[in-house]
Amino acid sequence: MTEIYSRVAVIGIGLIGSSVALAARRAGVVGHIVGCDSDADVAPEVKRLGLADSFTTDAVAAVADADLVVMSVPVGAIGALAERIIPAMKPGAVLTDTGSTKRSVIRDVTPHVGDDIHWIPSHPLAGTEHSGPAAGFPDLFNGRYWLILPGGVPEAEVARFESFVTAIGAVAERMDADYHDKVLALTSHLPHLIAYTIVSTAVNLESQLKNDVIRFSASGFRDFTRLAASDPVMWRDVFINNDEAVLEMLQRFSEDLSDLQRAIRWGETDKLESLFHRTREIRRSIIDAGQS
């Protein structure tokens, strides 16, 4: 495949960062991949897994001469990282991120961006509960949406970045920051919050009951524990930085949950069955859209 970027710097070699590197290498759209992580212990894993052509713990050094810089770190750390690396980036380079909140990231990064850097916030809707360099795999983005917020960047640069995203298997979709944060609050952030809460409820049960909940976990509880096993730092930052949208969706959920409690208490079988039919159709729609 034709090379899209000669040199790409991936900062943060966790699940997403390592998957970007592996997918870009397999697609043949990058000439040289620079891996960067503040944890020096990551270096042997990066080498063993063939994630990058070179590795450094110095983010400023990593971005020198890079045509594309991917910030794949928790959203709470993106602003400080951008402030450090942008002065070292070459004119005309593209800067993006993979954060799950967009208003906060744009707020934190934009003040540091000059006219000579193309800042394209983005968010791949892909992931697992695993983290670290070994968690990545090149198929992670296959068929998954990669949301792009082009802002005032020239169309040619946005299209070029979209071609990179498409080349590594994702489906590029443009979106507004406010709308992004509302959608993700419901589709991603709230489910994780509920999962953390349910697992926390199990942890707080008396000892024998807790042990039996773990021993006899049905598939539903196992699914919740999978979500609740996700990176604690990443999700701490997500909830703090998308608090407005998460709290709005949490309020809506609480109201719907109260209606469900009432239906169960009063034996409203028709109401319960109608709800379950509607939610079943949503699951079918997700499967039909190839996002299951």
Evaluate whether 109 touches 241 at the Cβ level (below 8 Å). Answer: no
pTM assigned to the model = 0.88
Question: CA-to-CA distance for 153 and 68, rounded, in angstroms?
Answer: 14
What is the model's pLDDT at position 218? 65
Question: CA-to-CA distance for 17 and 97, rounded, in angstroms?
Answer: 10
Q: Is the dihedral of CA 233, 237, 240, 244 positive or negative?
A: negative
What is the model's pLDDT at position 128? 82
- Residue given tokens 């697609």 in the structure block: 27
Evaluate whether 6 touches 60 at the Cβ level (below 8 Å). Answer: no
- Tens digit of pLDDT at every position of the chain (292 positions): 789 999 999 999 999 999 999 999 999 999 999 999 999 999 999 999 999 999 999 999 999 999 999 999 999 999 999 999 999 999 999 999 999 999 999 999 999 999 999 999 999 999 888 889 999 999 999 999 999 999 899 999 999 999 999 999 999 999 999 999 999 999 899 988 988 888 888 878 777 777 777 777 766 777 878 888 888 888 899 999 999 999 999 999 999 999 999 999 999 999 889 988 888 887 787 677 676 6
Domains and CATH numbers, the chain: 5-175 (3.40.50.720), 179-288 (1.10.3660.10)
What is the model's pLDDT at position 43? 93
- Single out the residue of 143, 145, 147, 155 nearest to residue 176, CA to CA: 147
Evaluate whether 138 touches 23 at the Cβ level (below 8 Å). Answer: yes
Half-sphere exposure of 103 (CA within 13 A, CB side): 17
CB atoms within 10 A of CB 149: 23
What is the model's pLDDT at position 73? 96
42 phi and psi angles, rounded to 5 deg: -70, -25
| Sequence-ordered strand ranges (E) for 160-273 | 171-174
